[in-house]
Amino acid sequence: PFARTGTAPVATLSENAKRYFSIEQHDMESTRQLQYRVFIATPRDIAAQEKRPVLYVLDANAQFALAVNSYTPAQGPAPVIVGICYRIDQGYDIPARTRDYTPPAPTIDPDFGAGGEAEQFYQFIQHSVKPWVEARVPVNPQQQTLAGHSF
């Protein structure tokens, strides 16, 4: 079940995922006026004061549905799954992810673009994304994971 958008296949949410999670999308702007999209999959069976683990997934346009679809009840209580990405229809925004996922470097790779703003992106997650998530669902601050690939 993949839909092709841009140059990368983007997974769609399965019917099982929709049964186990309530999905919400929110567009955010960083303090540097950069545009992001955040998805949150909240377990439908979460109790009002129950604190669940959180999985933050980068490149959510391509990876969020894969993470949500991978959950099965046999794994135990579902975590909250948060996807962070860019406001695009493709799976990946190579220049933006290069900017956000890499530390400062002395040279620029013409295949990827300028990088070096990982600290600013980290601060966006810490001070914008995480508070937004915590305002919507009780999460366990001791059980949080950030997942991504490459870089």
The 10s digit of each residue's pLDDT in 95-107 is 899 899 988 877 7
Could you tell me the residue range of the domain that residue 82 belongs to?
2-147
**Helix-, strand-, coil-residue percentages of the chain, each rounded to 5:** 30, 35, 35
**How far from chain centre, in Å, is Cα 1?**
20
The CATH number covering residue 118 comes to: 3.40.50.1820
* Mean pLDDT, rounded, for 79-97: 92
Number of domains in the chain: 1
Alpha-carbon torsion (1, 65, 22, 16), positive or negative: positive
d(CA 96, CA 150): 14
Please state, for a pLDDT cut of 90, what percent of the chain lies above it: 68
Phi, psi angles (nearest 5°) of residue 119: -65, -40
Q: Can you read off the two tokens belonging to residue 40? A: 């949150």
What pTM value is reported for the model? Answer: 0.87
